[in-house]
Structures are given as structure tokens and as C-alpha cells.
Amino acid sequence: MRKKIIAGNWKMNTVKEEAESLLKSISAQTATSNLSENKIVVVATPFPFIPFCVDTFSGFSHIYSAAQNCSEHEQGAYTGEVSAKMLASLNVQYVILGHSERRQYYNESDALILQKIKQAQSQQLIPIFCCGESLEIREKQQHFDFIKTQLEQCIFQLSEDEIKNLVIAYEPIWAIGTGKTATPEQAQEIHAFIRNELTKKYNETLAQEISILYGGSVNAKNAQELFACDDIDGGLVGGASLKADEFINIINAMS
């Protein structure tokens, strides 16, 4: 049975006091959120707040710390970088890789993201691999081909054993931080497409085991409709994960 996951991505927001208060509030409120082995919460804070996040969550069940990025290198002279090994040594469990903001502002290619995924997995971190098209590509009706290429050039290079330990997030760029959400039909269509591509490349059993999250202006109002779709296994939530009450309502929208 594949996991249902609500993952918060704080991006480059909060300072220490805000981060601590938000993490305490989220963890305390999840105690009433019916979480289990198969319904989990993940929170990707900025790097400096990760140790506090791990400590805070250690007293709670089914809520995990994530990073928003990691280096493609194991260690060495790479000033300013953070390795998967460092994250693992802090007991971080997940890492977001290939977010469209990293692809756009830091020129991350599918080949580079693949190296990062391999680094993360070598340290037993679970990558949350992001893919998704721009508005221009959708308007030209090229979104299926575009996503297929992102999959082929990146995660489809992994073996069956490797890809099993990975989460996919479909995040249409036109819906990220814009307040414009994909309709449940639009999101489900792509999620089903990705799962079908997984079946073709690997097999049906594996495709049914991989969680595919939707990201792009998820909020407490639209979450339930999106999460009710067959192939949507949760959400990757940006802006709305910075408000504890809203984030908890999104978590509670997941059955």
C-alpha cells in the first residue's frame, strides 16, 4: 500500500523564532491528525532549522524532517554546499530534489538532479523528485511529452530497487505560488500518466507502490478535492505550510 504524504516546503522563509514556534505548533497539532505508517507528514525547513525540526519531531509519530536540496557530491571542497551525508547524520529522512525553483534559478538539469538523487539514496534519504511543466508548454499542449522527458532523463535512469525508495511530486510551474491550482481533473490526468509511464518502464506492482504528490497552490479549501483523486497520494505544499492551522487543515483533508 503506497503512503499518503503531506509535505511542507518552507522555501527561504522564517527566522529562528518563527521556525521554532511553527514547528512546535505543527507537531503538537498533528497529534490529533490520525497519522499512521501510511499517512505521514514531512516538513522541509531551511537548512539552519533542521536540527531543531528533527529534535521537535522526535517526540511525535509519523512526522519527519526534510531538506530542500543537497549536493551532488559526497564531500570536499564545495564551499556553501550541504551534503546528503551531513543531512543523514542529523537524522533527516527526506530531501526535495529538482524543485522548479532550483531548475530555474540555479540551472539544475535532469542529469544533475539524478546525481543528487543518487547521493541522497546512498545515505538512505528518500528523495522527493519534482517535475512539471511551464504555462508555455501547457498552452502548446506539450506537457505530456515534457514530463515524460523529465522522467526519462532523470528517475528512469534508476534501477527498480532505487526508484522504489523515492517519492514523485507533480508540480505544474504555473500553479506554484500563483494561487492558480490545477483542477483535480488536470492533476489526476498527469498523475495517471506518470503512473502509466512507471508501469511501462518498470512494472505495474512498482507503479502502484510509488507515491505521487501534487504541488501548486494547495490550500485548506482545495486539498480535499485534489486528494480524493485516485492517483494523487498527497501534496507538496509551499505557502500554506507556513501557517500552522492551514497546514493542519490540509493534513486533515487527506483521508
Q: How far is the CB of 169 from ligand PEP (least distance, A)?
A: 7
Q: Considering beta carbons, is residue 33 or 100 the nearer one to ligand PEP?
A: 100
On the CB side of 37, CA atoms within 13 Å amount to 2
Number of H helices, E strands in the chain: 12, 8
Window 4 to 33, contacts with ligand PEP (CB under 6 A) = 9, 11
Q: Which residues are catalytic?
A: 99, 171
Rounded to whole angstroms, the Cα distance separating 126 from 44 reads 12
42 binds ligand PEP (CB under 6 A): no
Stretch that binds ligand PEP, among 115-123, 151-159, 231-239, 245-253 (CB under 6 A): 231-239
Helix (H) / strand (E) element for 7: namely strand 4-9
Rounded to whole angstroms, the Cα distance separating 130 from 171 reads 6
Pattern 174-193, binding to ligand PEP, x per CB under 6 A?
--xx----------------
172 binds ligand PEP (CB under 6 A): no
Strand partners, 168: 129, 212
Q: How far is the CB of 83 from ligand PEP (least distance, A)?
A: 23
State which residue has the least CB distance to ligand PEP.
Answer: 238
Q: Are 223 and 4 in contact (CB under 8 A)?
A: no
Pattern 122-161, binding to ligand PEP, x per CB under 6 A?
----------------------------------------
Going by C-alpha positions, the residue among 149, 232, 233, 164 that lies closest to residue 203 is: 164
How many residues sit close enough to ligand PEP to count as binding (CB under 6 A)?
14
